[in-house]
Copies of this chain bind each other. A is one copy, B any other.
Amino acid sequence: MADGKPTLAVLGGTGKEGSGLAARWAAAGYEVVIGGRDAGKAEAAAAELAAAIPGANVRGADNAAAAAAGEIVVLTVPYAAQQATALAVKDALAGKILVDVTVPLVPPKVNRVQLPEGGSAAMALQAALGEGVRVVSAFQNISAHHLHDLDHELDCDVLVAGDDIAAREAVIALAEAAKLRGFHAGPLCNSVVTEALTSVLISINQRYKVPSAGIRITGLPG
């Protein structure tokens, strides 16, 4: 922990979405551990971020070591690897917040909502991990397209769903650290919306020939 900021582990942080989020958190002064299946690749990804971001406190490790080091753990692997990756480090997640960024796309028709069993990948993950881990769903709708451009104002809000309100607050703080607006979206079952919304946004990207459609929440005070 640095300056009251929790150490963050980003499992799958060698991917585009994970490394983009890691870059923004590193730039905001968080200590970040990039996790990967391969420690060497994770170290290389971390070195790349460290070179690009002055003063960044970022290192790489295999997913198990990253999960052990993180006070909040962020899961940014493809849907097919979601449960296996989290279950492999289950003991290291005990008592922690696990931020699930998983989008349950079913290739090749990624512009069609194809709900997973039970409707929500985050709910299935919570069931698999048990009550000892606080799963919070967030960031599924943030296009990786501009995440690495740290000065780019991302025109998309983050809906944060989870059953533990304090855990949601902690993830909203992470959204804000990444220069995004985060909002309470209700209990974890509401993660259905953000998981499925990504297919709608992909559909909009295709139809309107844009790289990264997003959503803003309206009607709020201020």
Contact = CB atoms under 8 A, between A and B. Distances in A.
Nearest to A183: B204
Interface in A147-183: 155-156, 159, 161, 183
A138 interface: no
A77 to B, nearest CB: 23
Interface stretch (A5-13, A82-90, A184-192): A184-192
Interface in A52-111: 111
Contacts of A193: 113, 193, 196-197, 199-200
A115 B115 contact: yes
Nearest to A145: B219
A109 B96 CA distance: 28
Interface in A114-144: 114-115, 119, 143
A211 to B, nearest CB: 7
Given A192-B115, A193-B196, A197-B193, A216 B213 contact: no
A203 B219 contact: no
B200 A190 contact: yes
A192 to B, nearest CB: 5
Given A112-B189, A186-B199, A186-B200, 9 more contacts: A115-B115, A143-B219, A156-B218, A184-B203, A193-B196, A193-B200, A208-B220, A212-B219, A215-B217
A35 interface: no
Contacts of A18: none
A112 B192 contact: no
Given A115-B115, A200-B186, A218 B216 contact: yes
A4 interface: no
Contact of A217 (B143, B199, B211, B213): B213
Contacts of A119: 113, 115, 119
Contacts of A190: 112-113, 196, 199-200, 203
Nearest to A143: B219
A185 B200 contact: yes
Contact of A218 (B115, B189, B215, B221): B215
